[in-house]
Amino acid sequence: MNKKEILEAYQFRHACKEFDVNRIIPQEDIEFILETARLSPSSFGFEPWHFIVVQDKNLREQLKENAWGATKKLDTASHYVIGLTMKSPLTKWDSAYILDFMKNVQKLPEEVVKGKGKFYEDFQKTDFDLSDDRKLFDWASKQSYIALGNMMTAAAMIGIDSCPIEGFNQATTDVILREKLGVDTEQFGISYMVAFGYRVVEPKEKTRRTLDEIVTWK
């Protein structure tokens, strides 16, 4: 894609309110979108995320009750993704997950595991003051949102619409995650939902401040 085409994809992407129920995203395309989440960057490369694709109608109905921002999207989206983020039992510097991740996913040698582990400890204790569970979750959540952005942009690049959703009650949605979706909510929390599909109406023109207003050059 050239620059013009890339920017056209950014213009094409909008928060789509209602999708065409008759159009289903091909499996290959939704996997392509999820692959861009998988390849997203994360702090220290620890990938503090998980994605649930909710296609079951009953589950979507239940989510709807607690998700005012998802009206119409849950009924009409071709694919509906819940973005989960790891909580402190997994992301804290001394967790078994982090140790295992460095050894078995990142395949770091023993001495590098020690060094990186110490950096991660200092980062959490001092640099970013991630001293309580909520701070740690919010920090990890920020990384999950990078995956969200990438998925929406990738979707737009292949002509697929999306809508990011934070319009839901975290506590009541947590209950559904736990009881209906088998999520261990001690270990994972919900950051966002995102709907994918094909628009039924054209969006309103985009409003944005100018580059001059949001960028300072020094």
Asked if residue 209 binds ligand FMN (CB under 6 A), the reply is no
Cα angle 71, 139, 48 (rounded to 5 degrees) comes to 80
Query: Looking at the DSSP assignment, which residues form a beta bridge with residue 165?
Result: 193
Q: Is there binding between residue 117 and ligand FMN (CB under 6 A)?
A: no
Unique residue bearing structure tokens 């990186």: 116
Residues between 26 and 85 with contacts to ligand FMN, criterion CB under 6 A: 69
Residue 77 or 86: which CB sits closer to ligand FMN?
77
What's the closest the beta carbon of residue 158 comes to ligand FMN, in angstroms? Answer: 18
Q: Which is nearer to ligand FMN, 129 or 166 (CB)?
A: 166
How many Å apart are CA 164 and CA 149, to the nearest integer?
A: 9
Give the strand order in the sheet containing 79-86.
Answer: 49-53, 79-86, 188-197, 161-165
Structure token pair of residue 146: 């990078």
Q: Which stretch binds ligand FMN (CB under 6 A): 88-96, 124-132, 136-144, 160-168?
A: 160-168
Query: Which spans of this chain sit near ligand FMN (rule: CB under 6 A)?
Result: 14-15, 17, 69, 163-167, 192, 203, 206
